[in-house]
């Protein structure tokens, strides 16, 4: 239960992005509670629950590709379309104000992926090992590709681009 609860909490942490600097915190809390009950829980049950119809069809949602990422992506898009743009959007630069915190958050997120992805095997077996290895190799490859692209576009590679 705690493993599943952490997925729900992380999902809410991801969906906050369209709300930042656009709504009151209390509005986001209300939205989160309603969204978890009306959107997240039914989809999580359909995919991960023993009686869920997508689970019975053999859908394998390893570490939340559908339940978390697709769900949050469409929900964030809907929220962004309803909520007005951020004040100063496309008129002033909106770089992060604290790059070390961005890098710390990136490291913590990556560390958390090891637990989520390895834990999604629900056993200490070869599937869990493969998930952990892929959790290490895929971001490394993506980061390397980003550094190469950024180098060719700007002549230098930055840590913010790597973290992103």
Kindly state the helix (H) or strand (E) to which residue 48 belongs, with its residue range.
Answer: helix 41-48
Q: Give the pLDDT confidence score for residue 34 in this predicted structure.
A: 95
pLDDT band at 160 (very low <50, low <70, confident <90, very high): confident
Q: What is the mean pLDDT of the chain?
A: 89
Q: Give the pLDDT confidence score for residue 73 in this predicted structure.
A: 92
Residue 62 reports pLDDT greater than 90: no
| Higher local confidence (pLDDT), 44 or 86 | 44
3-state secondary structure 70-112: HHHHHHHHHHHHHCCCCCCCCCCCCCCCCHHHHHHHHHHHHHH
Query: What are 21-30's pLDDT values in tens digits?
Result: 788 899 999 9
pLDDT band at 74 (very low <50, low <70, confident <90, very high): very high
Please state, in angstroms and rounded to a whole number, the distance separating the CA atoms of residues 71 and 23. Answer: 21
């Amino acid at each position: 239960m705690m493993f599943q609860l952490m997925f729900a909490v992380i999902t809410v942490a991801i969906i906050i992005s369209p709300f930042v600097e656009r709504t009151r915190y209390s509005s986001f809390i209300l939205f989160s509670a309603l969204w978890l009950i009306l959107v997240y829980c039914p989809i999580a049950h359909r995919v991960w629950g023993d009686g869920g119809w997508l689970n019975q069809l053999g859908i394998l949602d390893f570490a939340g590709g559908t339940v978390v990422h697709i769900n949050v992506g469409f929900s964030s898009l809907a929220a962004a379309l309803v909520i007005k743009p951020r004040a100063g959007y496309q008129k002033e630069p909106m770089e992060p104000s604290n790059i070390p915190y961005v890098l710390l958050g990136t490291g913590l997120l990556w560390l958390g992926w090891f637990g989520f992805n390895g834990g999604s095997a629900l056993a200490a077996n070869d599937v869990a090992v493969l998930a952990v290895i892929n959790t290490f190799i895929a971001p490394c490859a993506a980061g390397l590709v980003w550094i190469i692209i950024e180098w060719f576009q700007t002549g230098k590679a930055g840590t913010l681009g790597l973290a992103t």
